[in-house]
């Protein structure tokens, strides 16, 4: 699992340390790290090769000629397999830096199966929004059974 949040520096060579716990998780899954443009937000998403395949399969299930599928394929085309240096750093590709608005600081946000890399300002927006939702609506009412089923009863 990718969990927790950390704020790391991006140096002049566009190098950034991937949090040790994330690297450990990749090692455990014996997977390289894949970075690509988030399909939902102005940030980079990082994940395992397996998880990436899931995304690709999901796109395949859409109408191949639809605009939606075309857009998703474009996003996926900008996916990169990363190489670590001896200190656990990667060089963030320029297209991803530009897309996510990253400059000198990166916020790593673990969300389970994958993680996001935000610019500090975009991260703050996202965080504040989530906090606001939590205040207004309260915690999501999920019933977690042993069979991993999810039932949303918020409208009942």
Number of residues that bind DNA (CB under 7 A): 23
Q: How far apart are the first and last CA of the chain?
A: 32
User: Under DSSP, is residue 131 helix (H, G, I), strand (E, B) or coil?
Assistant: helix
Is 6 one of the binding residues for DNA (CB under 7 A)? yes
Number of residues that bind a copy of itself (CB under 8 A): 68
Q: Which stretch binds a copy of itself (CB under 8 A): 2-10, 12-20, 84-92, 97-105?
A: 2-10
Residue 55 or 108 having the CB closest to DNA = 108
Is 3 one of the binding residues for DNA (CB under 7 A)? no
Region 79-98 residues binding DNA, contact defined as CB under 7 A: 83, 85-89, 91, 93-94
CA 151 remoteness from chain centre: 25
8 Å CB contact between 85 and 98:
no
Question: Which of 23, 29, 31, 80 forms a contact with a copy of itself (CB under 8 A)?
Answer: 80
CA-closest candidate to residue 119, choices 132, 133, 136, 102: 102
Question: Which of 2, 19, 116, 117 forms a contact with DNA (CB under 7 A)?
Answer: 19
DSSP state of 142: E
Give the helix/strand (H/E) hosting 45.
strand 44-47
Give the helix/strand (H/E) hosting 118.
strand 114-118
Give least dist CB 66 to a copy of itself, A: 9
How far is Cα 108 from Cα 33, in angstroms, rounded to an integer?
14
Is 8 one of the binding residues for a copy of itself (CB under 8 A)? no
Rule CB under 8 A: which residues touch a copy of itself? 1-5, 21, 34, 39-40, 49, 51-62, 64-65, 67-68, 70-74, 76-81, 93, 95, 109-113, 126-127, 129-131, 133-134, 137-140, 142-154
């Amino acid at each position: 699992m990718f969990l927790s949040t950390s704020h790391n520096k991006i140096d002049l060579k566009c190098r950034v340390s991937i949090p040790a716990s994330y690297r450990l998780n990749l090692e455990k899954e014996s997977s390289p790290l894949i970075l690509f443009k988030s399909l939902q937000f102005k940030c980079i998403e990082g994940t395992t090769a397996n998880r990436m395949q899931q995304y690709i399969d999901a796109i395949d299930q859409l109408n191949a000629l639809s605009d939606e599928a075309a857009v998703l394929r474009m996003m996926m085309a900008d996916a990169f397999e990363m190489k670590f240096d001896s200190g656990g750093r990667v060089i963030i590709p320029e297209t991803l830096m530009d897309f996510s608005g990253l400059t000198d600081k990166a916020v790593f946000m673990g969300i389970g199966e994958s993680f996001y890399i935000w610019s500090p300002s975009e991260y703050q927006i996202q965080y504040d929004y989530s906090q606001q939702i939590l205040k207004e609506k309260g915690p999501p009412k999920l019933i977690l059974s042993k069979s991993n089923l999810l039932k949303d009863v918020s409208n009942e």
